[in-house]
Structure 1
Amino acid sequence: MLDRFDPAELSENVRSRFYIGGQWVSPRTDARLDLISPLTEQVQFSVPAAAPEDMDAAVSAASEAFENGPWPRLTPAERARYLIAMGQEVEKRLDLFKRVWTAQVGVVNGFSGMISGLIPHYFTYFAGLAETYPFEEDRPTPGGRARVIREPVGVCALILPWNSPLILLVAKLCPALLAGCTVVAKPSPETPLDALILAECADAVGLPPGVFNVVPADREAGDHLICDRRIDKVSFTGSTAAGRHIGAVCADRVARYSLELGGKSAAIICEDADLAAAIPAVTPVSMPFSGQICFAQTRMLVPERRKDEVVDAYRAAVESIKVGDPWEDDVGMGPLAMRRQQDRVFDYLDIGRKEGARIVTGGGRGAFNSGFFVQPTIFDGVTPDMRIAQEEIFGPVVSIIAYRDEEEAIRIANDSNFGLSGTVFTPDLERGENIARRVRTGNISVNGLQLDPSVPFGGFKQSGLGREGGPEGLEAYLEIKSIYLPA
């Protein structure tokens, strides 16, 4: 069993201050962010909430560090050494990071261990790009030559969601730092601790003052941040509605922005799929973290001829998931992160019933007297036009949709405003890749979902703009300058 989290483990800095300009500073107001336990529904801890004045101070520190500090003027190799050192500090704290994650939003031990294990690799991967990425290159011109230089975009606001706060911050921070940018990170009010502990890592390795600033805040203070004209780029992960707002604000002042938004991803079970292999592979990624993850495979497309067979096998797999206390090792699904998520999911369960879909299993909160629990739920008899097949529920709810042939499966998979992830299950890898090429989504895997820091992640359509991971993730934090030189 994972040791439970005690707020007393945290330093006084994390508990009571912001990290601004390389210093732990006291808040300007008495405002607090209450962290509600998803298991007990009680306040378990609180931290200061940044006011607009705190945001202004953080942006000032980041702006000063970019304009006059050493960071943008270091070589990529010099910045990479800081990344390596930060990654080592993170690795020392991985156990704490995992327990903080569970305490804040109820992620189970198995999932937190799998995702947290990826985090140090982001630091080493982006540090490695310092040696291989062409930050400068010469090109011949009729009048001589041109030197193409990739420079840091400037001061960046990194705005984080509540569901996977550390890995999503690291996926933004590592390329931003390697590029030479300075950063203001605004973690979600529900999950502020991860970014503050990461600030301790930055402090421990002597990152220059103002390069990385952390100010937990509510959405109003976050809006103040994105409107600040000193912010050159906003990187946001979260809801499509919030992404539209951020995009509009940035477009108004022609600031750079990238958005990683929602998903309604399809898992396509092909006619020739081996269910003994496919069902164990798709089950963990159809409802990971109680379905509160952007890449969840929440539409399962199955051939009509095999639908009953697939439903029976998938129901058995889902019903074998133990729901309960996320601190226990054998628990596969904990509570949802907060009451508003629980209410949202129950609303969609009612919508699905009214639309005529049939609940195969789940549909309630289970035998729990407290905690934001929702049983893992499967809907059968779902048609592609139903709201439960079109809208992101962000809970442990999967829709089974039957198709007649491969062409219809691809049409259904593409019948969505989203295009973030997907999977195809078939023993014929050539067939699987051909299907994957035709699905309009940013990421799709054959016979099991994969994630890797070296591969770009992001979406088509309303799933966002831009990519994180890989060289493409670094390019999101660079501007291109061309200097023409005589022969």
Structure 2
Amino acid sequence: MAQAGLNPDGVFVKNPDKVWINGEWRAPHSGRMIELVSPNTEQVVGAVAEADEVDMDAAVAAAREAFDRGPWPRMSVAERNAIMEKIAAHLRTREPEAAKAWTAQMGGLAAGAPGMAAQGVRQFEMMREVGNKFEYVQQRETQVAGAAYIVYEPVGVVAAIAPWNAPFALMGSKVACALITGCTVIMKPSPETPLEAYLIAEACEVAGVPAGVVNLVCGHREAADHMVNNPGVDKVSFTGSTAAGKRIASVMGSRIGRYTLELGGKSAAIVRDDFSTEETAKLMTRTISLLSGQVCAMLSRLIVPRERQDEIADAIAAEMQKVKIGYSDDPETQLGPLAMKRQLERVEMYIEEGKKTADLVTGGGRPTHLNQGYFIEPTLFKNVDNKSRIAQEEIFGPVLSIIPVDSEEEAIQVANDSNYGLSGSVLTKDPQAAFDIARQVRTGGIAQNGLKADWNLQFGGYKQSGIGREGGDIGLMAYLESKVMLMDEAVNAH
């Protein structure tokens, strides 16, 4: 039975007061719990076990033993895939809980929560399917031996560290990549949104995943850093802030460990003259409101022709003032709360910074009709200097900066004048123009007319937006090592 009082309404995790290590639910060494706070009400709505350094070491040891001596890496891909089908089947039955968990923990709109939950399961299934079709042994031509093979083998023990904004899909993708390739994995979810990882752990338990292959430890930053420093971890797969990514890269680099990092962004949308002011206003208002602006690929810089800046700013302001701000469970709400108090304080700090260097057009304050929760109005600045903090630093909130330019060439230069390079967009009716401009923007993904991503393809960024890619066959490769084998003659290589 699920434990009453530790789960939000509609969520039925059986052992929230325990960690899952080596196939066992056990009390955390710390004896402490992590409280889950609703960003709508600022009230505690649940709690999970807090893992400390001892638990992290135990999880790594279990995953290490399972990889070095257990059956999982030695199974055929078909055998692993059969078990993973059972995991996916169980997760599909838990989609309503995942939806409730997302809204309760981070304030995601209830209207969109079922879709987010379904995407979480789909991410797991998709990467399982990619891995099931992958050719792990490939014969190649050679001039120095009778036969040559490239063999792809699991990278080893994977620490999967997921963020709080899309915890189900991102953790599901990481776990699926690890499992189908024969790796073992330690799930370290965000302490703000750990419940989705509990659902994955329960699915693994039901499906009969061998002990130690998947482990779950939810801890704070110090405990997570301890895990990353553990030499038993072969690879870290991290999605989150650039600051945390730099720390992980430095630790793993010191011992030549493997890592993939999907980090922050400060993505630009370039407006061409053939894209109307009305369309720009509706598109950008809808986009900046998505997840309350808490999206790493968010189009948070709008680069416009200088002579159109004022009319575009006025039109966006008019659209922003129509946005219905409210509690996440209200089906009419278009903009919910920020995920936590510190995120609200961060966004407010950047708004104050913006007032010093740019013109505040609309927003900038907390909505007056809500007396609780971490809410902020959609906020628009114009006459933004691209060198300013609000143009260069990731805010992670519903704050849009308009940057005026005098030419298309300058627009491209401004888009590229950033430490980030995750996403972007070209707003135009001309596909060829969009393509030609997009080729000149240094970013891992870019789309015509809006923020778009195809989860069947890889995702990641240039520069400080990350290292490597998530998703697709390229994302799968990050969980594999390649080995060249030169034989005197051809052999049965499968």
TM-score, reference length from structure 2 = 0.94
> Which residue is equivalent to 1:159?
161
Q: For residues 11 and 259 of structure 2, what CA distance do their matches in structure 1 show?
A: 33
Name the aligned partner's letter for residue 463 of structure 2: K
Name the aligned partner's letter for residue 330 of structure 1: E
Q: Are 1:378 and 2:380 matched, yes or no?
A: yes
Indicate the SS of the match to 1:241: helix
> Which residue is equivalent to 2:180?
178
> Which residue is equivalent to 1:47?
48
17-26 vs 81-90, which moves further: 81-90
Q: State whether residues 267 and 298 of structure 2, in contact with CA within 8 Å, keep that contact through their aligned partners in structure 1.
A: yes
Q: Are 1:365 and 2:352 matched, yes or no?
A: no
Give the drift of 1:194: 1.2
Q: For residues 252 and 79 of structure 2, what CA distance do their matches in structure 1 show?
A: 31
Q: For residues 369 and 403 of structure 1, what CA distance do their matches in structure 2 show?
A: 40
2:422 equivalent among 406, 420, 423 = 420
> Which residue is equivalent to 2:122?
121
**1:202-226 deviation per Cα after TM superposition (whole angstroms, max 9, x unaligned):** 1121122211111111111101100
Q: For residues 213 and 282 of structure 1, what CA distance do their matches in structure 2 show?
A: 41
Q: For residues 486 and 252 of structure 1, what CA distance do their matches in structure 2 show?
A: 38
Q: State whether residues 390 and 417 of structure 1, in contact with CA within 8 Å, keep that contact through their aligned partners in structure 2.
A: yes
Give the drift of 1:418: 0.3
> Which residue is equivalent to 2:478?
476
Q: Are 1:74 and 2:75 matched, yes or no?
A: yes
1:433 equivalent among 422, 429, 435 = 435
Q: For residues 337 and 131 of structure 1, what CA distance do their matches in structure 2 show?
A: 36
Q: Are 1:106 and 2:113 matched, yes or no?
A: no
289-298 vs 16-25, which moves further: 16-25
Q: For residues 414 and 40 of structure 1, what CA distance do their matches in structure 2 show?
A: 40
Name the aligned partner's letter for residue 266 of structure 1: A
> Which residue is equivalent to 2:294?
292
Q: For residues 351 and 420 of structure 1, what CA distance do their matches in structure 2 show?
A: 24
Indicate the SS of the match to 2:147: strand
With over 3 angstroms needed to count, the CA separation of the structure-2 counterparts of 1:14 and 1:319, relative to structure 1, is farther
1:215 equivalent among 214, 217, 220 = 217
Q: For residues 463 and 131 of structure 2, what CA distance do their matches in structure 1 show?
A: 31
Q: State whether residues 90 and 203 of structure 2, in contact with CA within 8 Å, keep that contact through their aligned partners in structure 1.
A: yes
Give the drift of 1:94: 1.2
Which ranges in structure 1 are unaligned for 5 or more consecutive residues?
Answer: none
Which ranges in structure 2 are unaligned for 5 or more consecutive residues?
Answer: 1-5, 490-494
Q: For residues 17 and 170 of structure 1, what CA distance do their matches in structure 2 show?
A: 20
Q: For residues 128 and 258 of structure 1, what CA distance do their matches in structure 2 show?
A: 21
Q: For residues 360 and 123 of structure 1, what CA distance do their matches in structure 2 show?
A: 42
With over 3 angstroms needed to count, the CA separation of the structure-2 counterparts of 1:114 and 1:273, relative to structure 1, is farther
> Which residue is equivalent to 2:458?
456
Indicate the SS of the match to 1:116: helix
Q: Are 1:87 and 2:62 matched, yes or no?
A: no
> Which residue is equivalent to 2:3?
none
Q: State whether residues 280 and 312 of structure 2, in contact with CA within 8 Å, keep that contact through their aligned partners in structure 1.
A: no
**1:67-88 deviation per Cα after TM superposition (whole angstroms, max 9, x unaligned):** 1111111222222223332222
Q: For residues 42 and 66 of structure 2, what CA distance do their matches in structure 1 show?
A: 41
With over 3 angstroms needed to count, the CA separation of the structure-2 counterparts of 1:123 and 1:171, relative to structure 1, is closer
Q: For residues 318 and 114 of structure 1, what CA distance do their matches in structure 2 show?
A: 24
Q: Structure 2 matches for 1:218-233, cutoff 5 A? A: 218-233=220-235
Give the drift of 1:64: 1.3
With over 3 angstroms needed to count, the CA separation of the structure-2 counterparts of 1:131 and 1:21, relative to structure 1, is closer
**1:106-154 deviation per Cα after TM superposition (whole angstroms, max 9, x unaligned):** 1112443443332222233223224532211111222212111000000
With over 3 angstroms needed to count, the CA separation of the structure-2 counterparts of 1:64 and 1:19, relative to structure 1, is same
Q: State whether residues 121 and 453 of structure 1, in contact with CA within 8 Å, keep that contact through their aligned partners in structure 2.
A: no
Q: Structure 2 matches for 1:27-42, cutoff 5 A? A: 27-42=28-43
Q: Are 1:135 and 2:136 matched, yes or no?
A: yes
With over 3 angstroms needed to count, the CA separation of the structure-2 counterparts of 1:128 and 1:464, relative to structure 1, is same
Give the drift of 1:278: 4.3
1:349 equivalent among 351, 355, 361 = 351
2:304 equivalent among 277, 302, 305 = 302
Aligned length: 482
Q: For residues 102 and 188 of structure 1, what CA distance do their matches in structure 2 show?
A: 15
With over 3 angstroms needed to count, the CA separation of the structure-2 counterparts of 1:335 and 1:453, relative to structure 1, is same
87-96 vs 398-407, which moves further: 87-96
Indicate the SS of the match to 1:483: strand
With over 3 angstroms needed to count, the CA separation of the structure-2 counterparts of 1:279 and 1:111, relative to structure 1, is farther
Give the drift of 1:21: 1.4
Indicate the SS of the match to 2:39: coil
With over 3 angstroms needed to count, the CA separation of the structure-2 counterparts of 1:296 and 1:84, relative to structure 1, is same
Name the aligned partner's letter for residue 395 of structure 2: I
Indicate the SS of the match to 1:117: helix
Q: For residues 269 and 117 of structure 1, what CA distance do their matches in structure 2 show?
A: 33
> Which residue is equivalent to 1:336?
338
> Which residue is equivalent to 1:25?
26
Name the aligned partner's letter for residue 193 of structure 1: L
> Which residue is equivalent to 2:400?
398
Name the aligned partner's letter for residue 122 of structure 1: Q
Q: State whether residues 427 and 434 of structure 2, in contact with CA within 8 Å, keep that contact through their aligned partners in structure 1.
A: yes
With over 3 angstroms needed to count, the CA separation of the structure-2 counterparts of 1:287 and 1:296, relative to structure 1, is farther
Give the drift of 1:99: 1.1
Give the drift of 1:6: 5.8
Q: State whether residues 309 and 382 of structure 2, in contact with CA within 8 Å, keep that contact through their aligned partners in structure 1.
A: no
Q: State whether residues 424 and 436 of structure 1, in contact with CA within 8 Å, keep that contact through their aligned partners in structure 2.
A: yes
Indicate the SS of the match to 1:138: strand
Indicate the SS of the match to 2:141: strand
Q: For residues 131 and 375 of structure 1, what CA distance do their matches in structure 2 show?
A: 46
Name the aligned partner's letter for residue 471 of structure 1: D
The two structures, once aligned, show a CA RMSD in angstroms of: 1.7
Give the drift of 1:9: 4.8
1:242 equivalent among 236, 240, 244 = 244
